Structure 1
Amino acid sequence: MAPTPGLLCVRSRITSEALSDAAFNDWYTNHHLPDFISSGVADLALRYKNADASKMWQYLALYRVPDIGFQSDPEKIKAIRMNHETLPNGGNITDFTELKANMYLPIQSFEGTNPNTERAKTLFIAEIEPEQGTDEEALGDFYEKQHFHMLSMHHQYHRSNRFKTADGSKPPFAALHEFDNADLDQRMRTTMNATKWAKNIEGNAQMLEISCWELITEQGKIGENLIVDAALRVS
């Protein structure tokens, strides 16, 4: 059976006073991410911190997964250690944190006419459940024919990638947009959201959640896009 590439998205937050923020970041960046890369589960791993400290989820990890079938491979799962000597009493990370994992499948990738291949420092994630009756193709048309191009007009823009949840969970779609920083001017925001198409798609969505994340580290095939399938690139 041919491998099915995907994107594993893991949000996390510390729930125990026994685990300091410094210890958590040391474990995650210096041990957990390398485990994903060395095990072969992922070939690219990114870590982010929430730009809004008041939000529930403090951190985000993204793993480019060559084959989501790793989930049924006990040897690969075993190689990703959840216990570690750097954690309190050598414990399991789940004793001190809450983790939320989602597996996504790639559907669209866009880099514009002047692609910036360096890793952007800021990531915006727009998760959407469109209005009932709006199918995947119609949503894709909005991004491909208008939204991506409007985003790319901003001088801080790098690239965008779109995914859908592998298990159909909601919100079913996520668009990941990379920018140099989070300070998008209000004029640009207003322009993007003012079109009739944007108002129809976003204004009528059953759910639309936008979050902003700041890059901590990238490991593995650094600098590469989260989607490598050329067939999914739009222009």
Structure 2
Amino acid sequence: MPTPGLMFVGSRVIDPSKTSDEKYNRFYNEEHLPDVFSHGVCKFAVRYKNINTSSPMPYIALYPLEDVAFLQGPKLGKLVEDTKISRTFDNTDINEHVHFEPRGYEKIQTFEGYGNSDKSDNHPGKTVVCVAMEPAEGQDDDFDDWYRKQHLDMLSMCRGYLRTTRYKKLNGKKPRYLALHEYACKPDELPADQVKQVVATEWTQKILKEGQAYDRDVFELVQVQGDVSLKL
């Protein structure tokens, strides 16, 4: 049986003095994403920009995969090789201009906010809160229970919440777990007051205090291509 997953690609311009943000985004939106689709990688892709302007990962591209086997087979190598020479950058090696940080994940869970699962007009969130975590040693089951039995239920009551998709890193490097929390609002409209209450529970504080790693970034939607009725 196929195992659904995610190709998560962080990226940044190597030399901003030589490559403008406009040119970088033109490359990604008009050249790279269409090339990815032409290789049959996925049916839907979405790009986000980090609201933290000093972040070492200013952009992410998310490619939902029907089967994570793609990331371990020859098709990935062919994609990389076929898209190495960039038309936008005058037929030079794109790796001279853009730094990519690809990660592979298998899907664990999709949790829909109340009233969202049956909507026909599904759409990606205008904002995605990206949380990478590593639970305390030997506490993976408790970590999973926390998400399924408390955290997501409470989070779904916050204003603008759409859904959460959870993943586990294929190569086992820490932090292994990724949660993508999607919201219908823009980053400056996130319900910080409500989220503060959600993370104040005894169970949440235990998870955060004992965990080995916790990284949180907030991203704003840049581009969606492909079948927009699909979800992460």
TM-score (norm 1): 0.88
What are the equivalent positions in structure 2 for 1:33-44 lying under 5 Å apart?
33-44=33-44
Q: Structure 2: any 5+ residue segments left out of the alignment?
A: none
Task: Name the structure 1 match of 2:11.
Answer: 12
Q: Does 1:157 align with 2:132?
A: no
Q: How does 1:1-235 map to 2 (within 5 A)?
A: 2-16=1-15, 17-71=17-71, 72-74=73-75, 76-77=78-79, 80-87=82-89, 89-115=90-116, 117-135=122-140, 137-179=141-183, 180-182=185-187, 183-226=189-232
Q: Amino acid of the residue matched to residue 168 of structure 1?
A: G
Per-residue CA deviation, residues 62-99 of structure 1 (Å, 9 max, x unaligned), is 00122233342258526751212211x32111111221
Cα distance in 1 between the residues matched to 2:3 and 2:78: 16
Structure 1 contact 111–159 (Cα < 8 Å) conserved? yes
Q: Is the 8 A contact 2:10 2:57 kept in 1?
A: yes
1:233 corresponding residue in structure 2:
none
What is the Cα deviation at residue 224 of structure 1?
A: 1.6
**Distance in 1 between the 2:113 and 2:21 partners?**
37
User: Which whole-Å deviations, capped at 9, do the CAs of 1:82-120 have from their partners, x for residues lacking one?
Assistant: 212211x32111111221110000001100331163321
Q: 1:94 to 1:154 in 2, by over 3 A?
A: same
On the 8 A contact 1:41/1:67 being kept in 2, the answer is no
CA distance in 2, matches of 1:174, 1:78: 24
Shift of 1:19: 2.0
- Range with greater deviation from structure 2 (184-193 or 156-165): 184-193
Q: What is the distance in 2 between the residues matched to 1:5 and 1:80?
A: 24
Quote how far apart the aligned CAs of 1:144 are: 1.0
Secondary structure at the residue paired with 1:119?
A: coil
Give the Cα separation in 2 of the matches to 1:173 and 1:21.
Answer: 30
C-alpha contact 1:7 1:62 (8 A) present in aligned 2 = yes
Tell me the distance in 2 between the aligned counterparts of 1:84 and 1:57.
21
Runs of 4+ in 1 over 3 A off after TM superposition: none
Q: List alignment gaps of at least 5 residues for structure 1.
A: 227-235
CA distance in 2 between partners of 1:184 and 1:126 (Å): 15
SS in 2 for 1:54: coil
TM-score normalised by L of structure 2:
0.90
Contact kept? 2:123, 2:231, Cα under 8 Å: no
How far has the Cα of 1:45 moved from its partner? 0.7
Residues 158-178 of structure 1: CA deviation (Å, up to 9, x unaligned) = 100100001111100001000
The offset of 1:54, in angstroms, is 1.4
| RMSD of aligned Cα (Å) | 1.7
Q: Distance in 2 between matches of 1:184 and 1:112?
A: 15
What is the aligned length?
223
